[in-house]
Amino acid sequence: MTAVVTRIQVGGDRPYDVLVGNDLGGELPGLIDGAARVAVLYAAPLRERAERLAAALPGVTPIEVPDAERGKSVAVAAQCWDTLGKAGFTRTDVVVGVGGGAVTDLAGFVAASWLRGVRWVPVSTSLLGMVDASVGGKTGVNIDAGKNLVGAFHPPAGVLCDLDALGTLPADDLAAGLAEVIKCGFIADPRILELVETDPAGAADPAGKTLKELVERAIQVKADVVSVDLKESGLREILNYGHTLGHAIEKREKYTWKHGHAVSVGLIFAAELSRLSGRLDSATAARHRAVLEQVGLPTAYSSEAWTDLLSAMRVDKKTRAATLRFVVLDGLAKPGILTGPSEEMLVEAYAEVAR
């Protein structure tokens, strides 16, 4: 029986398809037509999967990089550029990133900066990568000042989300990915929340229909947004719901916390800010904690951390001059921006997390 592949188009100046399904390796050669050389970036745990994909590609240059956020650095990117230079990569060649969001962010940045931009394809192997990092053309690396502060908008030639890979993920990683899925439910598609609430076990079952539908719905939310606003000049900011505090937690933890875990806590904070500013009803704010805890995500953080977190949030990408800005909700699936909340309101919102 032929595997069913769902194709979700991301529009804009350089449209491309996100392919969701099982056993998608055969789709990769069609996305890189005309390439004489292909650099395949991967971390050690994905070596076998990367080698299987590479077997059908021309002129492969394998590049093994450190796993997870340790690989998202300027130093690692520079090592990749050196490898491309030695291999004679030209503008017709392609970079493929095989792995979770950190590896695909790095691969995209290497591709965006090599010869001012070559084609690239993320082959996402984590739930978080499928619904967040690999879709939308955001690429980048971390520096000491913060996460993703150096990067470029560089849409891929296509995206492969092979659901088979989810079967190898630890339960903790699947749950972390669900934080981004649930975020999409609150900002745009409430059916996502209903699916998780009705079948929380199925939401974390890689072989089940519920998770497949959740992946497709979350990708569709992101595709709809980035098709209109690639460079985060307006609408795309809504995808950062929960991320301002989330990124600050990641920085404070030196990126040892999973992104989805940090975003989960950030969603509680953002929901409480929404409520305190009079923009969100109490029931929808409370629904955040309930649905996140149903899939085992954290909803609290250290009460001692506020000063560090506030300092980190001041260099968030949404901040303008010294004015903090947060994505909030004006109701379910009605995102907006809160500009310059008082310090008293911020502290009160954090009290909902620090417990």
Binding site annotation covers 99? Answer: no
Binding site annotation covers 27? Answer: no
Phi, psi of 182 (to 5 degrees): -65, -40
Binding site annotation covers 258? Answer: no
| Tokens at 105, concatenated | 């962010």
Binding site annotation covers 247? Answer: no
> 119 and 157 in contact (C-beta within 8 Å)?
yes
Binding site annotation covers 125? Answer: yes
Residues contacting residue 82 through CB under 8 Å, at least 6 positions apart: none
Binding site annotation covers 221? Answer: no
Radius of gyration of the chain (CA): 20
Residues contacting residue 255 through CB under 8 Å, at least 6 positions apart: 68, 69, 70, 142, 147
Binding site annotation covers 288? Answer: no
Burial (Cβ within 10 Å: 0-12, 13-18, ≥19) of residue 116: exposed
| Tokens at 197, concatenated | 């609430």
Binding site annotation covers 105? Answer: yes
Distance CA 216, CA 135 (A): 12
Binding site annotation covers 227? Answer: no
Tell which residue, 190, 128, 191, has the closest CA to residue 161. Answer: 128
How many other CB atoms are found less than 10 A from the CB of residue 278? 8
Binding site annotation covers 61? Answer: no
Binding site annotation covers 307? Answer: no
Binding site annotation covers 72? Answer: yes
Binding site annotation covers 154? Answer: no
Tell which residue, 168, 164, 155, 352, has the closest CA to residue 268. Answer: 352
Binding site annotation covers 323? Answer: no
Binding site annotation covers 259? Answer: yes
Binding site annotation covers 180? Answer: yes
> 242 and 297 in contact (C-beta within 8 Å)?
no
Binding site annotation covers 131? Answer: no
> 139 and 72 in contact (C-beta within 8 Å)?
no
Which residues define the annotated binding site for Zn(2+)? Answer: 180, 243, 259
**Residue set of the binding site for NAD(+):** 67-72, 101-105, 125-126, 138, 147
Binding residue ranges? 67-72, 101-105, 125-126, 138, 147, 180, 243, 259
